[in-house]
Amino acid sequence: MKEHLNHIVFKKIAEVCKENNTEAYVIGGFVRDIFLNRVSHDIDVVTIGSGIELAKLVAKKLSPKIKVSFFKNFGTAMFQYKGLEVEFVGARKESYKRDSRKPIVETGTLEDDQNRRDFTINAMALNLTYDNFGKLIDPFNGVNDLKNKIVRTPLDPDITYSDDPLRMLRAIRFATQLNFKIEKNSLQSIKKNKNRIEIISYERISSELNKIMMSNRPSYGFELLQEVGLLTYIFPELDKMKGITVIDGRGHKDNFHHTLKVLDNICNKTDNLWLRWAALLHDIAKPITKRYIKGQGWTFHGHEFKGSKMIPVIFRRLKLPLNDKMKYVQKMVGLHMRPIVLAQENITDSAIRRLLFEAGNDVDDLMILCDADITSKNPQKVARYLENFQLVRKKLHDIEEKDKVKNWQPPISGEDIMKTFNITPCKAIGDLKKEIKDAILDGKIPNNYEDAYNFMIKKGKDMGLIVKNKT
């Protein structure tokens, strides 16, 4: 394994260990990624003794310009050097109280430190001392679990997951990212301890969810979350989407599985985390809008509007950003049916203008979402939808070229209206602005100042407003 430790940082750590008669090991993700043939720039070093002191000594050997950040309360220190982020900590053992995932920490041995690790694949260490430089220490046979693509805890999973319930989510996240299976006893233990997730903050939960979302096939992670019962606790709205109701022998598709298919589809097209969230949430209101109409079947009328209103509630609970990212997801969810409806009807210029106006610069992302929303197993139906969407795309492009409404700014401002009619702020100004906007979007007048001004004069007079005499 020595060939993987050629970086000067490892050599300097070895020098410091020899000079100070101490031990150090690189442990965790860096070692795991060597076996997975992945490049890792994050290095965790555990030492027998003070991690802070080791970090200072190594940094001094490397360069006097290196700034070491240290956290005395946690006994950790870190610095960055030539593309690597290196963190140091003293070997420790941990114990937990029932109502907290914050451990009681004591100084320990390398064995203690490996025992406290979450999974066997993260418990492997490489020796950084001169005599045994590069030697692998793998007490739980993590190499074998990597070969067999298994996520397993080093010790009793009931203790591992009960002590720190976040590890349940981490197990699912690693399984999703690496396309591994969770070992049977470990999976059963997650089911048994699922209620322990209630002591975990939503900031931590969302961090893991985002990592699942950014994997190649996030559906695998959400299926596991649903299978073990964690989804009920952390994302009840999504959990309620599972299942099919049958009335008069007529059922509807399982919206949970449909949603996960849409999510996987969109992941083949984009790395945009928030567009992926939009895919996950696009049908989130279907359970509350589901209705059965005799003779017609199942409807989910208005689910896109209800869904868009649910987004702030979900984002607030999950501690996701309540800023433009949330508004973007809200917009995508609220508009996702519009191109689908257009693709089924005779497309009018007015409908296209309104879609461009409402979607703005995000119209291309909206079309990606709509493409992903086609999950039919009927190839003819899929081909027909995709062909119709291409017609919608062409129409969007042509109308935008002609009318420039994607980032539409009203040619007539409220100030223009007040000056023209010599009025102060009032309801009539908003009414007139809406009349002008609708006239442009409906194609009644071109999108320019002169035509909009003449239209304003006419509508203003109809409303009883008097044009101010020009001097």
Residues 102, 201 within the same domain: no
> What is the C-alpha to C-alpha distance for residues 169 and 190, in angstroms, rounded to an integer?
9
Query: 405 or 62: whose pLDDT is higher?
Result: 62
pLDDT tier for residue 138 given thresholds of 50, 70 and 90: very high
pLDDT at 96 over 70: no
> What is the C-alpha to C-alpha distance for residues 180 and 256, in angstroms, rounded to an integer?
22
pLDDT number for residue 18: 94
| Residue 331 vs residues 324, 326, 338, 359, 360: alpha-carbon distances, Å | 10, 9, 11, 7, 10
pLDDT digits (tens, 9 = 90+) for 277-322: 999 999 999 999 999 998 889 999 999 999 999 999 999 999 999 9
pLDDT number for residue 384: 84
pLDDT number for residue 281: 98
Is residue 102 a part of any domain in this protein? yes
> Domain range for residue 73?
2-148
pLDDT number for residue 95: 61
pLDDT tier for residue 376 given thresholds of 50, 70 and 90: confident
CATH at residue 221: 1.10.110.30
pLDDT tier for residue 471 given thresholds of 50, 70 and 90: very low
pLDDT digits (tens, 9 = 90+) for 313-353: 999 999 999 999 999 999 999 999 998 888 776 778 888 88
Residue type, 70: F
Count of domains in the chain?
3
Side-chain-facing half-sphere of 439: CA atoms under 13 Å: 23
Tell which of 200, 215, 234 closes a domain. Answer: 234
Q: What share of the chain is helix, strand, coil (3-state, %, to 5)?
A: 55, 10, 30
Is residue 316 a part of any domain in this protein? no
Is residue 296 a part of any domain in this protein? no
Give percent above pLDDT 70 in the chain. Answer: 96
Residues 104, 68 within the same domain: yes
Tell which of 126, 148, 170 closes a domain. Answer: 148
Taking alpha carbons only, the member of 427, 433, 389, 391 closest to residue 414 is: 433
Is residue 377 a part of any domain in this protein? no
Residues 7, 144 within the same domain: yes
